[in-house]
Amino acid sequence: MKPWQVIYYVFLGLVIAIALLLVVSVLPVTGNYKILAVQSGSMTPAIKMGSVVVVKPQEDYKIGDVITFGKSSKTQTPTTHRIYDIKVNVGEVVYITKGDANNAPDSKEISQKEVIGKVIFNVPYAGYLVAGARTKLGFALIIIIPALAIIIDEVFKIVKEVKGKKDEKQKA
């Protein structure tokens, strides 16, 4: 296999992975899983800024669990922090959270209703790719670059085929 073909297939694989991450992050995933991008470094080193986290709701949470909580919309971003302490206020369980990189626990107590879920796993830096793919330019590049790569590959195949036919005619 030629070096440019290896580069082509690696690039094509990356584009497909980005496209899948983009689609999966937009569409609801079965089993109440949510896929979100981390936009701050408050959980460093456990979860780096720009990571994608997969979150799943649980029946209950314990101290040490990393949870995502808050509203998720175009204007509001949920927070992903570790449970530092658990209290019961007027019969309702509330969580005190803290980012691993933060010096002190968060001042706001988190009610059970605000918790989106527990972080099951994370993919470092994949959030940058998803965020880039969500822009108009990024989305266009996801479509245009693979299309151009396929067109160029096909042109090379046609040229090779034509040269092969010419060589056959000259030999005959």
Q: Which residues are catalytic?
A: 40
Give the CA radius of gyration of the chain.
24
DSSP H helical ranges for 31-135? 126-133
Pick the closest to residue 43 from 106, 99, 105 (CA basis): 99
Q: Which amino acid is located at 35 in the chain?
A: I
CA distance 80 to 45: 13
Residues 6+ apart with CB under 8 A from 40: 49, 99
Q: What are phi and psi of 115, to 5 degrees?
A: -75, 125
To the nearest 10 degrees (0 to 180), the angle between helices 3-26 and 136-171 is 150
Tokens of 9: 């297939």
